[in-house]
Amino acid sequence: MEQKSKISIILLLGFVAYAAITIYPSIKSGYYHGVVTNISIIVLFLLSILHLKLYKNHTITTILTSFTLIAILFFHFIMEVDWTIGMDAFWLFILVMPFITDYLAGAIYGTIAAFSGLLLSILCFQTPMLYYLQPYGSNMVQWYTVIYLVTMIAAAVISYELTAYQIDKKVSDEKIAYYQSERTGRLKKLLSVYESNEQTIRKYKHDIRHFNRVLAGFIQNQEYDKAASYLQEFDSMLEGVTAVSFCENTIVNELLTIYASQCQKLGFKPRIRADVPEHFAIEETDLTSLVANALENAVEALNHVDQDKRALQVEISFDGRKLKLMTKNPAGREISFKDNGLPISTRPVQSGIGTAQIKAIAEKYGGVASFSQEDGVFVVKAVMTCM
C-alpha cells in the first residue's frame, strides 16, 4: 500500500504539472473554457494527493479521483461551444485510464474506477446526449464504447496476472527463505557435532599412547580380566563420538546426526537403522519435514522422561518403492488422541503441527501415518510410495 500510494502521488503530480503547463497556451489562444477545466483537474489531483497523505488508501483515492475526473470531463464536453476544437485527445486519455487505475488499485477496484469511463462513453455516444455535443465521426460513436470495454477487460486481465505472479513469487520466496533458514540451522547444529567429535578425537589421539601402554602392561602381566575391563571402559568413552554416517541420503544423515547428538547429551545412545539412498522420488522439503518432525517430537518427549528410562529407536528405509519410517520412545505421560488419530499435544502451548505434518506428507505420497501408545511407549509409523 505504501508503494502504490507513493506511485499514485508521483502520477498525480505528473498530471498536475501537465495540466498546469497547458494553461499557458490556453490563455494565450483565448481558450478560457480549457483553462477552467485544467484548473479543475489540478484542484482535483491536489485534493487526491491530500487524501492519500491523510488516509493512505490508494484504492479509495483511485476510485474517487477517476469518477470525479470523468465528471469534470463530462461538463467540459457539454459546455464546449467551439466545435472547431476536437475532443479526441481527451477520449484517448480516457482509453488509457483502465491501465492506470488497474495498476494503482488492482484488477477489481481498478476496474470499478475505470467503469467511470465506460459510463461516460455510454452517456455521450449511446443516449440522446450525443446531439448536445460536438459532432463525432461514426466510428467514434459506434465503436468507442466497445473498444473501451475491451480495453477494460484487457487491463483487468493483465493486472490480475501480474498480481497473481507477484503473490506466487512472494510465497515462493518466503518458502525458499524458510527452507534456507532451516537448512542453515541444521548445518550449524551439524557443524557443532563435527567440532565436538573433532575435539574428542584429538583428545583420544593425544592419549592413545598412554592407553596402549597401560593395556600392554595388563597383557604382559597376564591380567586379561583387567585388560578386558579396560578395553570396555575405553570403548564406552568412544560413545561420546557421534556417528556421522547413517545412510547415503544427505538430508536424513544430517538429521539423524543432529538428533543422535542431542540424545547423547540427554545421557543415552539411540538405536538407529537407516537405509535411504541419496536420490529417490520425494521432494527434499517433504523429506526434511517428515524426518525432522518425527525426531524432534521424540527428543522433546524424552526431556520429560527419567534419565534411566530414556531411549529412542529409529528405523527409516526405502526399498525402491516405499519409504518407511518408525520411531519409538517412552512417552513419560499418558497421551490422548483425537478422532482423526492425531495425538493431542501435551505441551503447555498446544500445537500438534508436527504430527499433522507427518500425516499430511504421508497422504501426499499415497501413504498413511499412524500414532499410538503401547505400554508407555509412543510409536510413530509412516509409509508412503515414492516412485
pLDDT of residue 351: 46
> Which strand (E) or helix (H) includes residue 150?
helix 138-220
What's the gap between Cα 105 and its chain centre? 23
Residue 263 CB neighbours (<10 A): 24
pLDDT of residue 118: 95
Contact of 260 with 313, CB cutoff 8 Å? no
Residues of the chain with pLDDT under 70: 186, 190, 193-194, 196-207, 209-210, 234-244, 346-352
Contacts 24+ apart (CB under 8 A), 123-131: 123/74, 124/74, 124/77, 129/78
How many angstroms separate the CA atoms of 137 and 14, rounded?
A: 31
Cell of 300: 522433546
pLDDT of residue 197: 64
pTM over 0.85: no
pLDDT of residue 76: 92
How many angstroms separate the CA atoms of 19 and 24, rounded?
A: 10
How many angstroms separate the CA atoms of 164 and 132, rounded?
A: 44
Query: Longest Cα pair distance anywhere in the chain, in angstroms?
Result: 126
pLDDT of residue 349: 41
Spatial CA neighbour of 312 closest among 334, 290, 296, 335: 296
